Amino acid sequence: IYRVQVIPFWSEKRLRGAVMVLQDITEVRRLEQMRTEFVANVSHELRTPLTSIKGFVETLLDGALEDKKVSQRFLSIIDAETDRLQRLIEDLLKLSHIESHREAIFQGETDAVPEIYRIRSLLTPMAQEKDVILHFEVERSLVLVPLTSDHLQQVLVNLVENAIKYNKKGGVVHLRAFQKEGLVQITIKDTGIGIPEESLPRIFERFYRVDKARSRDIGGTGLGLAIVKHIVEGSGGTIAVTSRVGQGTTFSISFSSVNNLTRT
Ligand code: ADP
């Protein structure tokens, strides 16, 4: 897409010529469109739980409150929808914080080993509830990674949570952290439902979900992987994904190790 501007130049009241300026505004338009889509998506995502909350509150006020069983059921729906709104707002804040403090992300230095074990403890109850086995294999001599501990946690929680959420009963999540060719690599492999090939390039987009209803049902905001990608790439790392429908998915992240700061 080009913006065309024609600037004539005159001398002694006669048109002597003109300059035509062609400006490539494809990127500007693309960014504008992305912003518009994002605002529309956010509004939609916020409105859905709000509409539901309002509906149930009104029904309660209209008399359903008299029936204890019904009101308990409605209140627990309101509670769940409020949780959803909260998660969504937290994820949106995280995303905008990351985007506006990009340079800060580069300043971190974290020993990944204790963080990884912390994530395992944190997510063990969720895995047990879903009947998924967590199998973690971490090289003890892992060097420091160039992220803040907070960001490393966000990345790992989002990836391991997804590996549990989109798994099958009795499935496995296998996390490996190791060093290879001067890089620290963390792979999170699951034996879950997998991601169709045509969706793979899109899963890091904000609000993109392979199955919207399923993601909503299990409490997803559609922002987790966008946050992960921002943090990893903002820290100079890379993220890759491979998947087979019905068999499972593997996310691999890698960082260059922080120089001369090996763990003791
Ligand atoms: P959500 O909050 O919906 O989980 P994410 O940004 O974390 O959002 O992930 C985007 C989408 O990518 C998910 O809705 C899901 O369809 C797919 N996805 C992410 N991780 C996995 C996984 N480990 N296995 C299968 N599908 C996944």
Which ipTM did the prediction report? 0.98
* Ligand 1 mutation target, pool 87, 130, 162, most atoms within 8 A of CB: 162
| Number of other CB atoms surrounding residue 250 within 10 Å | 16
Average pLDDT, the chain: 90
Looking at the CA of residue 158, tell me the nearest atom of ligand 1.
Answer: 7
Beta-bridge partners for 21: 5
Q: What is the pLDDT of residue 264?
A: 43
Residue pLDDT, tens place only, 183-207: 999 999 999 999 999 999 999 999 9
* Ligand 1 mutation target, pool 98, 159, 225, most atoms within 8 A of CB: 225
Quick one: DSSP state of residue 143? -
Q: Is the distance from the beta carbon of residue 192 to the nearest atom of ligand 1 less than 6 Å?
A: yes
| Number of other CB atoms surrounding residue 23 within 10 Å | 10
User: What is the mean predicted confidence (pLDDT) over 97-112?
Assistant: 78
Identify whether the C-beta of residue 220 lies closer than 8 Å to the C-beta of residue 166: no
Q: What is the pLDDT of residue 262?
A: 45
Task: Report CA(209)–ligand 1 centroid distance (Å).
Answer: 6
Pairing mode, strands 2-11 and 14-24? antiparallel
Does the pLDDT of residue 244 top 90, yes or no?
A: yes
37 band by pLDDT with thresholds 50, 70 and 90: confident
Give the whole-angstrom CA distance, residue 36 versus residue 41.
9
Does the pLDDT of residue 259 top 70, yes or no?
A: no
Looking at the CA of residue 163, tell me the nearest atom of ligand 1.
Answer: 23
181 band by pLDDT with thresholds 50, 70 and 90: confident
Q: What is the pLDDT of residue 164?
A: 97
